[in-house]
Amino acid sequence: MDWQFGGIPLHPLFVHLTSVAVPVAALTAIIVAVWPRARRWLAVGAPIIGLVALASVPLATQSGEWLEHREKETALLERHTELADGMLPWSVAVFAFLVLWWAWHRYGTDRIAGRGAVRAINIIGPVLLIVVGVVSMIEVIIIGHAGATSVWTD
């Protein structure tokens, strides 16, 4: 695919989308994990936010790989591309846990007979959401910084 529009590479556009969508999805994951009222307010919106973030990552990486083949290879660019390959699993995790957490509160809590299982899920679920949210935010910051360094360093 030709990842340009009017001769301008689309990678910066997709990078900015990812730089906003991933932290918003991560913050949404953390908020729904710790604030029950927000979980009810966001409802299915939380997984949709996670889906937008997830969709933005392959767009940014594919357009970045296209652009990489047209740029001078440097150690900084190589570091950025290697780091970027690690973003997708974290975005998948944020999306998956947001879907599971929404489904659990929408359908699961009333169907499980054992109070111990409900309690365990209500402890483990938020911890997982917080962990994947924090790590995905850290990842996008590190990747973005590496990309900016590779562009703006002589």
Token pair 């780091």 in the structure block, residue: 83
Q: Cα separation of 55 and 109, whole Å?
A: 29
Q: Give residue 110's pLDDT.
A: 66
Domains within the chain, CATH numbers bracketed? 10-152 (1.20.120)
Low-confidence ranges of the chain (pLDDT < 50): none
| pTM tops 0.95 | no
Q: Give residue 86's pLDDT.
A: 95
Q: Which residues of 23-60 are buried (b: 16+ CB within 10 A; e: fewer)?
A: bebbebbbbbbeeeeebeebeeebbbbbbbbbebbebb
